[in-house]
């Protein structure tokens, strides 16, 4: 992989409503512009390092486009969306984070190749969408650490710090553990990672290497996310469905539906190629967060 591969990007634009413009509101040149950063690097990451099937990946992210918003655990201001099959996370990121990922991409790629069992977030793609006269939205596509088929009964975000690292227990009880707990909750509850000597040695070594990499690229403020599934409890509470927020964004791309011939699309672009966005209000906060996007 040459150094150019890490800086290269592909830009494309799409016209969704060609007929919208008139004398008063001149039509824009595009409805959105899409940029794919370092496509070859990310393809190598996906297919060689992370063993993703390319068709699978595309299908998961385009097939139905039902994305559910996750209660944002951090103060970062990022929005999280799941792919419909819950395998991938789309996270909007700040421009600075975007630049930073591009900066460390080479090191990250090398680290992942040397450490196939890394615990670091798996980056599958880095993209930007720009709306005409609108702001640029950067996002990264990552693995969803939590599995689609198992309830997570407790979630901890551990930083190895004790300052401000307590989620109020009363509130946690009220919300029935649908929250992300922190270091002091972990300590106060006397939690342990129950691992025998073998797994303990592997895990310790891998965390050490990953932390070393992060240190070398001056990253801090990272966390170890710990999801706990209790097999005796299983999936009977159906927590997964209940933790998914009801804000959803839906897009229909008729061209991806096999029953819709391409010729039909090209003859009536305005009618066929529509983009539907569904927004529902979060019942907890009452905010309509998707409208910002």
What is the footprint of another protein within residues 57-116 (CB under 8 A)? Answer: 66, 68, 74, 76, 84-87, 93, 96-97, 100-101, 116
Q: In whole angstroms, how close is the CB of 101 to another protein at the nearest point?
A: 6
Q: Give, as ranges, the residues between 163 and 202 that touch another protein (CB under 8 A).
A: 163-165, 183-184, 186-188, 190-200, 202
Q: In whole angstroms, how close is the CB of 247 to another protein at the nearest point?
A: 9
Both tokens of 274, joined, read 């529509």
Per-residue HEC secondary structure of 158-176 comes to ECCCCCCCCCCHHHHHHCC
Q: CA–CA separation, 245 vs 71, rounded Å? A: 7
Q: Give, as ranges, the residues between 225 and 264 that touch another protein (CB under 8 A).
A: 225-232, 235, 240-241, 244, 246, 248, 250
Half-sphere exposure of residue 80: CA atoms within 13 angstroms, side-chain side: 17
Q: CA–CA separation, 42 vs 37, rounded Å? A: 8
Nearer to another protein, 37 or 157 (CB): 157
Does position 129 interact with another protein (CB under 8 A)? The reply is: no
Pick from 18, 132, 147, 168 the residue near another protein by CB under 8 A: 147
Q: In whole angstroms, how close is the CB of 161 to another protein at the nearest point?
A: 4
Does position 11 interact with another protein (CB under 8 A)? The reply is: no
Pick from 145, 167, 172, 255 the residue near another protein by CB under 8 A: 145
How many residues sit in the footprint of another protein (CB under 8 A)? 98
Q: CA–CA separation, 199 vs 194, rounded Å? A: 10
Q: In whole angstroms, how close is the CB of 186 to another protein at the nearest point?
A: 7
Q: In whole angstroms, how close is the CB of 198 to another protein at the nearest point?
A: 5
Count of other CB atoms within 10 angstroms of residue 58: 12
Both tokens of 23, joined, read 């004398």
Nearer to another protein, 215 or 261 (CB): 215
Angle of the 197-216 helix axis to the 95-114 helix axis, nearest 10: 130
**Contact at 8 Å (CB) between 8 and 38?**
yes
Three-state secondary structure call for residue 67: strand
Stretch that binds another protein, among 33-41, 142-150, 169-177, 264-272 (CB under 8 A): 142-150
Choose, from 29, 75, 208, 221, the residue flagged as catalytic. Answer: 221
Burial class from Cβ neighbours inside 10 Å (0-12, 13-18, 19+) for residue 286 reads exposed
Nearer to another protein, 100 or 253 (CB): 100
User: Is 221 in the active site?
Assistant: yes
Among all chains, which residue has been given the structure tokens 């592909």?
Answer: 10
Q: Give, as ranges, the residues between 211 and 230 that touch another protein (CB under 8 A).
A: 211-212, 214-215, 217-230
**Contact at 8 Å (CB) between 32 and 130?**
yes
Closest CA to 94 of 137, 31, 62: 137
User: Is 91 in the active site?
Assistant: yes
Nearer to another protein, 144 or 261 (CB): 144
Active site positions, annotated: 91, 221
């Amino acid at each position: 992989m040459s150094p150019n591969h890490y800086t290269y990007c592909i830009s494309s634009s799409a016209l969704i409503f060609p007929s919208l413009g008139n004398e008063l509101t001149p039509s824009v040149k595009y409805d959105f512009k899409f940029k794919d950063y370092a496509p070859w690097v990310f393809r190598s990451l996906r297919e060689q390092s992370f063993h993703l099937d390319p068709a699978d990946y595309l299908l998961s992210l385009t097939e139905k486009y039902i994305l559910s918003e996750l209660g944002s655990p951090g103060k970062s201001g990022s929005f999280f969306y799941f792919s419909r099959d819950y395998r991938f996370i789309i996270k909007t990121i700040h421009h600075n984070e975007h630049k930073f990922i591009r900066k460390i991409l080479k090191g990250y790629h090398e680290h992942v190749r040397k450490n196939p069992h890394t615990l670091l977030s798996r980056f599958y793609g880095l993209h930007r969408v720009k709306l005409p006269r609108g702001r640029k939205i950067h996002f990264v596509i990552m693995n969803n650490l939590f599995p689609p088929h198992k309830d997570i009964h407790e979630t901890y975000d551990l930083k190895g710090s004790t300052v401000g690292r307590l989620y109020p227990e009363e509130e946690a009880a009220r919300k029935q553990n649908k929250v992300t707990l922190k270091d002091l909750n972990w300590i106060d509850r006397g939690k342990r990672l129950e691992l025998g000597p073998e797994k303990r040695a592997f895990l310790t070594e891998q965390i050490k290497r990953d932390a070393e990499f992060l240190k070398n690229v001056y990253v801090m403020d990272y966390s170890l996310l710990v999801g706990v599934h209790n097999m005796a409890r299983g999936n009977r509470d159906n927590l997964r469905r209940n933790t998914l927020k009801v804000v959803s964004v839906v897009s229909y791309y008729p061209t991806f539906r096999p029953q819709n011939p391409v010729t039909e699309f090209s003859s009536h672009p305005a009618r066929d190629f529509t983009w539907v966005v569904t927004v529902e209000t979060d019942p907890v906060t009452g905010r309509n967060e998707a409208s910002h996007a």
